[in-house]
């Protein structure tokens, strides 16, 4: 079998064992380890105890190298630890609303790419966005609020010349919601709770 790596430089084939950066021995292979991993989220460091974390490990010196699979598992553990909506939950809720991802992104004034990355698990949402998502999925009034008069006052994102324009809910929206008795939304601080 000819396998000159120079023939196909753009497609490195991962073959094990590979050489260890630490000790130089060709002893690095996939392994599952249990580890305490530290991750930052919103300015705070969280320690996560993770079982069966997929890594590659050097059998000679014990050095451990993280892979994309390691990162995926760590991000997923962090999400569970902070009790954020999982990508599966978000996808399920969007399906239940019979909305497209794009419609949800436009309603929430977020870039469709951002939502797409939350749904693929490659990006973790902030807690405030998680709260907004939960309210959007849970409350009819919330969807009415972001899709109603406020939405009509702004062009769709793709027509806004690249600017993300955040419309301020008109006062009649506030009055309408106020009459409908939407105290949960007021309680979330989305609308000033003045008299």
- Kindly indicate which of the ranges 16-24, 121-129, 172-180, 183-191 contains the residues binding Zn ion, using the contact rule CB under 5 A: 16-24
Does the footprint of Zn ion cover residue 26 (CB under 5 A)? no
- Residue in 18, 23, 139, 186 binding Zn ion, rule: CB under 5 A: 23
**x/- letters, 53..72, toward Zn ion (CB under 5 A):** -----x-xx-x---------
- Kindly indicate which of the ranges 21-29, 37-45, 48-56, 181-189 contains the residues binding Zn ion, using the contact rule CB under 5 A: 21-29
Q: How many residues bind Zn ion (CB under 5 A)?
A: 7
Give me the least distance between CB of 43 and Zn ion, in Å please.
Answer: 35
Give the 3-state secondary structure of the chain. Answer: CCCCHHHCCCCCCCCCCECCCCCCCCCEEEEEEEEEEEEEECCEEEEEEEEEEEEEEECCCCCEEECHHHHHHHHHHHHHHHCCCCHHHHHHHHHHCCCCHHHHHHHCCCCHHHHHHHHHCCCCCCHHHHHHHHHHHHCHHHHHHHHCHHHHCCCCHHHCCCCCCCCCCCHHHHHHHHHCCCHHHHHCCCCCCCC
| Cβ proximity to Zn ion, 24 vs 187, nearer residue | 24
Give me the least distance between CB of 62 and Zn ion, in Å please.
Answer: 7
- Kindly indicate which of the ranges 51-59, 82-90, 160-168, 180-188 contains the residues binding Zn ion, using the contact rule CB under 5 A: 51-59
Q: Which residues bind Zn ion (CB under 5 A)?
A: 20, 22-23, 58, 60-61, 63
């Amino acid at each position: 079998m000819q396998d000159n790596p120079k023939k196909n430089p753009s497609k490195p084939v991962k073959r094990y064992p590979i050489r260890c950066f630490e000790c130089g021995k060709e002893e690095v292979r996939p392994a599952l380890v249990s580890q305490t991993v530290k991750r930052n989220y919103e300015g705070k460091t969280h320690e996560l105890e993770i079982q069966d974390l997929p890594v590659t490990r050097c059998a000679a010196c014990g050095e451990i190298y993280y892979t994309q699979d390691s990162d995926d598992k760590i991000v997923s553990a962090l999400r569970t630890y902070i009790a954020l909506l999982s990508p599966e939950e978000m996808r399920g809720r969007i399906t239940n609303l019979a909305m497209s991802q794009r419609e949800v992104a436009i309603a929430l004034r977020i870039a469709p790419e951002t939502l797409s990355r939350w749904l693929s698990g490659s990006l973790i949402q902030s807690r405030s966005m998680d709260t907004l998502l939960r309210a959007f999925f849970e409350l009819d009034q919330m969807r009415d609020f972001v899709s109603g008069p406020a939405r009509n006052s702004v062009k769709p994102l793709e027509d806004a010349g690249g600017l993300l324009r955040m419309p301020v809910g008109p006062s009649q929206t506030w009055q309408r919601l106020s009459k409908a008795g939407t105290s949960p939304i007021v309680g979330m601080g989305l609308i000033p709770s003045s008299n």
